[in-house]
Amino acid sequence: MSFRLRVLWLVILVAVSATAATAWLTLRQASQQINDSATTDRAQLDQVVGRLRTYSSQHGTWEGVPDLVQDLRTQTGQRIHLVADTGDVIVDTDTQENRTARPLGTMVGFVDPRPVLNLAALPAEPAGREKGVVVAINAYRTGVLFAACLTRESVPVVASTTSTGVPQFDADLGAADGRGRRGVDEIVDGCRDAAAEPGRDRAAGAARVQVCGTSTEEPVDSCLARAFTNEISDVAPVPARVYLGARGDPASVLTAGPLLAAAVGVAAVAVIGTALLSRRVLRPIDTLTAAAQRLGRGDLTGRVPVRGNDELAELARSFNRMADSLQRGEERQRRLVADVAHELRTPLANLRGYLEALSDGVITPDQDLFASLHEEAVLQQRIVDDLQDLALAEAGNLAYHRVTVDLAELLETCRTAHHARAESAGVSLRVAAEPVAVHADPDRLRQVVGNLVTNALRATAAGGSVRLVASRTETQAIVQVVDTGSGIATDALPHVFDRFWRADAARGRRTGGSGLGLAIARQIVTDHQGTIRVASEVGVGTTFTITLPRAD
């Protein structure tokens, strides 16, 4: 996978992970807090309802309940609104706090302070059950009035539940305030007298209970329970509804902890992913930087390892190719300097030696000596000229004057130029060419072919032959120089176009040439968009093949 795609996929992964993690944790946290809030609200409502029911059942009145409600408000932090079934508001914390009453909340509980008569604790026979209900009614009416009176007088009340479910009320004298025992006793006695309900027609209640024994439309127990509730309703605290909270209150704020943890987790994923990506990117770049610095200091041997097939790997390959090219160029330059020094050292030493001998009178100057020295100077001049041509050709500055050239005519011209030398060497020089035109510089092509013919004549013994062949294909023109000379060893073939290379290292300068002709020939052919190849077999001969684009 390419580096660009890896970066893209990493960014997508981080973005998707961040979005998914944030969405999941937010949804989970919101759901959890909604559930927790609902559970908490229900628990608070149950707590408030239970405390209010206990208070009203114990005190027999709603008087004094605002203090309890205010305490519950402090504990729960909720707005509490208590309203009787008749519609009368018993207490509202908004009103207590002198603020505008807000819309009621949605959490609603029902508080019924009236006791539920346990009919199972009454006698089984009808007369006994009826009497038990009447006794329970009278006992509760008296007790609840007594408890209400004590509450109004700020005397603590103690309520205990009997087997019938009807509470018994009494004063908690031990918890009374500092008014003294006598004063409390007077209050208690006064409340007992007030609870006696003078003038009430107790027989009316008993009559209503007795009706249940004669009714056939309703079960007796249900009728008795209803009669009990009806007979105490006018003295018992009225049932009430309690509303918790207020509409428009701010919603629960999401806890920041899990969200911060999610953010930290996503950031950690991003950091780890970036670190891994940076390591994958920066490590090869560091390696390339170090190799480039070594290259700048002149160390051309350094290479970078190539891993994978992405852009960084391609960059490493390009760097290695560049380093290889620079190293090869440096080595060629060093070989060139060494070769030039080697090629010029011996003949220049000879020239210097002869000139010093002439100057010292050691040898006598004559015509043959001057001719030999002149020939040696001309040879060195030719080497320098060849080096200049090669340098210009490799730099792309060698001038060409291109025209349409018939290769058959060009080969015939070359044969004529080398005919005398071939005859003197006893070598047959022939041309076998068909007309084929190319767009080229004729002088430079004659230079190439002449160099090949010269080398062929040097390598071919008397009685051998050298053939110049021209042929064509649909798109190419082909020139071949074929000799029957000594040939070139297989391991030497890759070096025939190198500078100053000779097939026979022991061959003298006069027979071996400068060693630059083939290098120049290859560059000229390359500049003509052609190729030059060599095939040879030791003892059989050598064939040089030049391929050029056709002009027709």
Q: Are 406 and 376 in contact (CB under 8 A)?
A: no
Per DSSP (E only), the strands in 389-427 are 403-406
Q: In 110-142, which positions are buried (b, 16+ CB within 10 angstroms) versus exposed (e)?
A: ebbbbbebebeebeeeeeebbbbbbebbbbbbb
The rounded distance, in Å, linking the Cα atoms of 289 and 297 is 12
Q: Are 441 and 400 in contact (CB under 8 A)?
A: yes
- Residue 508 confidence (pLDDT): 47
Tell me, yes or no, if the two domains 325-398 and 400-549 fold the same way: no
Selection from 90, 96, 94, 95 nearest residue 111 by Cα: 90
- Residue 175 confidence (pLDDT): 60
Q: Is 498 exposed, middle or buried (0-12, 13-18, 19+ CB in 10 A)?
A: middle
CATH 1.10.287.130 correct for 325-398? yes
Q: What is the DSSP letter of 495?
A: G
Q: Is 91 exposed, middle or buried (0-12, 13-18, 19+ CB in 10 A)?
A: buried
Global pTM exceeds 0.75? no
Note down pLDDT in tens along the chain; length 552 residues. 566 666 667 767 777 777 777 777 777 777 777 777 778 778 888 989 999 999 988 888 898 889 998 999 888 888 899 999 888 899 998 888 888 888 888 888 999 998 988 888 888 887 788 888 888 888 888 888 888 888 888 888 888 888 888 898 888 777 666 555 667 778 888 888 887 765 454 555 565 666 676 655 668 888 888 888 888 888 889 999 999 888 766 555 556 666 667 667 766 776 776 667 666 666 777 888 888 888 888 887 888 888 778 777 888 888 888 888 888 777 777 776 776 776 677 778 878 888 888 888 888 888 877 887 787 787 777 777 777 777 777 666 677 889 999 999 999 999 999 998 999 999 999 999 999 999 999 988 998 999 999 999 999 999 999 999 999 999 999 999 999 999 998 888 888 887 666 555 544 444 455 567 888 889 899 999 999 999 999 999 999 999 999 987
Helix (H, G, I), strand (E, B) or coil at 16: helix
Selection from 59, 54, 55 nearest residue 155 by Cα: 59
- Residue 319 confidence (pLDDT): 84
Q: Which residues contact 157 (CB under 8 A, 6 or more apart)?
A: 58, 59, 60, 147, 150, 151, 169, 170, 171, 172
- Residue 207 confidence (pLDDT): 58
- Token pair, residue 131, equals 């009497």
Element (H, E) at 348: helix 311-360
Name the pairing type of β-strands 157-161 and 531-537. unpaired
DSSP letters, 200-267, are --HHHHHHHHHHHHH-SSS-HHHHHHHHHHHHHTTTSPPPEEEEEEETTPPPPPPPHHHHHHHHHHHH
Q: Where are the alpha helices (DSSP H) in 153-219?
A: 181-194, 202-214
Can you give the residue ranges of every domain in the chain? 119-236, 325-398, 400-549
For 400-549, which CATH class? alpha beta
- Residue 403 confidence (pLDDT): 94
